[in-house]
Structure 1
Amino acid sequence: MFNYLKTNRNIITQFIKRETISRYKGSYLGFMWTILTPLFMLLVYTFVFSEIFKAKWGTGSTNKLEFAIIIFCGLTTFNIFGEVLSRAPFLILGNSNYVKKVVFPLEVFSIVSVGTALVTATINFSLVIIFSGFIFKTLHWTILLLPIMILPLLVFTLGISWLFSSLGVFLRDIGQMIAIVVQALSLLSPIFYSVEVIPSQFKWFYNLNPLTYYIENIRGIMLWGKIPSLAEFATESIVALVVCLIGLVVFRKTKHAFADVL
């Protein structure tokens, strides 16, 4: 797989650039929207949760921005997975020309999808670092662990993308089902609330949800300087690798039939 990435690195880089630029093509502000959009959403979260819901995270702080930045950090983590999963069923369908007419490494599309989501997340995490320094008056050294902590999430998401991009060719209803699943997961993952407030009878579900660990661990190292246990990180990494390998095997076993179906 590393050799595959190395061999196709130029294709991957060019496609990520194209995908990122095409989102804002024709707009006056262009790439600036990647910064303005999360800033605007951060202001909306601050207003809604601090002024309307009067919500607090339980840290004892009265800072209105604190709750918003905690949510924003969790949502940024989730959006890496949610954005890629939402696009997965349509990756091959939307690039049928590469399937039918050209000998092309089709696995690249999922890698590009993850890379594009990572570009957006990098900008959002940068804003989290800036605002958390302003709000908490300190930056924890554990922020340096972010690239390591985010790696299992990227690997897990890549495997999910390969799996559903291949299934989406044969089962067209998956696209609609995934849209519902992503919305449900955004509410069933600890983004807008802490795991501490989850009733005990439902905690088994959150323990089975891999996104719970990714969100909590990334939020912990960025905002509170908490280092997850080595055993927990190892478990996350093993699960991510297994899911990635399953997704890759399914994709490569089915991709030879893509042209016939399309």
Structure 2
Amino acid sequence: MPLPSPVNAVALLWIHRRFVWSLTLTGVSSRYRTSWFGLFWPVIHPVLLIGVFTFVFAYVMPLRWVSEESGGVGFPLFLYSGFLVFTFFADVVSRAPTLVLENTNLVKKVVFPLEVLAMVSACTSLLFFAVNLGVFSVFLALLGPGLPWFTPVLLGLFIPFALFLIGVAWFLSALTVYVRDVTHVIGIFVTAMMFFSPVFYPLSSAPEPVRAALSLSPLTIVIEGIRAVAFDHVLPDGGDMLILWIGSLAVFYLGYLWFQRVKEGFSDVL
């Protein structure tokens, strides 16, 4: 059986773009449908988090390694810049194992493209990430150094990171159909990644051997890239962006390849 072309994996996003967009909007609205504040929650949530970070890490429990320049309001924003990327990652990865399991009624429908489930999950989380990034940008403009003119270059980080997460979601959603233990392990993995990534600390504070390993993580590259643009007003490292693009496209294609190879057995297991 010939391997699916990498072009097919990318073309899948374009072919089903309207279907994915429709399901994404449905997913966004359904999350807050029964709440009082509804779609205001994606804005309220990051504002509250920034307030909590400010109170705890600037006044209650200031960290010793934080320099004077990063103190006060600046450090909570520094912390939140890592947290918003991790939240995007955690939301997609945590939901991935149950994407197929929760839609067993669609498995036996030949006309339904099961591949879009991972794309919808990633796109839904991407919209919430965009809202969080917007709130972060407003606080950065009001309380921080502002945004440089080359801020749109961050798309060069967000696009491959989203493709990376779609590939991971394809792999995990297909694997969990056959190995249900993944649903129990994934929570531990996501929590571990929060500490193995520079969410609560700058990458420069990690020991040299550990720093070299952490710097290869897509999470680290995106977090450090956002911080470079937002706080230092410099472009993300070109080498890191190249690693991110190559690694993300590889994971995207391998996840697609895995999903295509094993999805034919879904109906037998489910």
TM-score by length of 1: 0.94
> Which residue of 2 is the match for residue 144 of structure 1?
152
SS state at 1:235 partner: helix
Alignment of 1:9-24 (within 5 A): 9-24=17-32
1:125 aligns with 2:133: yes
Cα drift, residue 144 of structure 1: 1.7
> Which residue of 1 is the match for residue 6 of structure 2?
none
> Which residue of 1 is the match for residue 97 of structure 2?
89
User: C-alpha deviations, 1:133-169, integer Å up to 9, x for none?
Assistant: 1122432123221222211111111111111110011
SS state at 1:61 partner: helix
CA RMSD in angstroms, aligned pairs only: 1.7
* Amino acid corresponding to residue 222 of structure 1 in structure 2: A
1:115 aligns with 2:127: no
Residues of 1 paired with 2:182 and 2:80: CA distance? 28
How has the CA–CA distance of structure 1 residues 204 and 232 changed in structure 2, closer, same or farther, with 3 Å as cutoff?
A: closer
Residues of 2 paired with 1:137 and 1:54: CA distance? 21
Residue number among 44, 48, 63 corresponding to 2:52 in the alignment? 44
SS state at 1:141 partner: coil
> Which residue of 2 is the match for residue 206 of structure 1?
214
TM-score by length of 2: 0.91
Alignment of 1:160-171 (within 5 A): 160-171=168-179
Residue number among 38, 43, 59 corresponding to 1:35 in the alignment? 43
User: C-alpha deviations, 1:85-123, integer Å up to 9, x for none?
Assistant: 101100000111111245210110110011011111101
> Which residue of 1 is the match for residue 15 of structure 2?
7
Residue number among 220, 225, 248 corresponding to 1:217 in the alignment? 225
> Which residue of 2 is the match for residue 182 of structure 1?
190
Residues of 1 paired with 2:113 and 2:40: CA distance? 32
1:260 aligns with 2:268: yes
Residue number among 233, 240, 251 corresponding to 1:243 in the alignment? 251
> Which residue of 1 is the match for residue 5 of structure 2?
none
How has the CA–CA distance of structure 1 residues 225 and 57 changed in structure 2, closer, same or farther, with 3 Å as cutoff?
A: farther
Residues of 1 paired with 2:60 and 2:219: CA distance? 28
How has the CA–CA distance of structure 1 residues 99 and 232 changed in structure 2, closer, same or farther, with 3 Å as cutoff?
A: same
User: C-alpha deviations, 1:145-196, integer Å up to 9, x for none?
Assistant: 1222211111111111111110011100101111100001001110110111
Alpha-carbon contact 2:58-2:75 (below 8 Å) kept: yes
Residues of 2 paired with 1:44 and 1:242: CA distance? 38
How has the CA–CA distance of structure 1 residues 207 and 192 changed in structure 2, closer, same or farther, with 3 Å as cutoff?
A: same
Cα drift, residue 58 of structure 1: 4.2
SS state at 1:38 partner: helix
* Amino acid corresponding to residue 190 of structure 2 in structure 1: V
Residues of 1 paired with 2:17 and 2:91: CA distance? 22
Unpaired segments ≥5 residues, structure 1: none
Residues of 2 paired with 1:83 and 1:219: CA distance? 21
Unpaired segments ≥5 residues, structure 2: 1-8
User: C-alpha deviations, 1:20-53, integer Å up to 9, x for none?
Assistant: 1111011121101111111111111111111121
User: C-alpha deviations, 1:35-82, integer Å up to 9, x for none?
Assistant: 111111111111111112113774532652211111111111122211
Residues of 1 paired with 2:56 and 2:133: CA distance? 21
Residues of 2 paired with 1:7 and 1:172: CA distance? 31
* Amino acid corresponding to residue 165 of structure 1 in structure 2: S
SS state at 1:151 partner: helix
Q: Tell me which stretches of 4 or more aligned residues in structure 1 moved more than 6 Å.
A: none
Percent identical among aligned pairs is 32
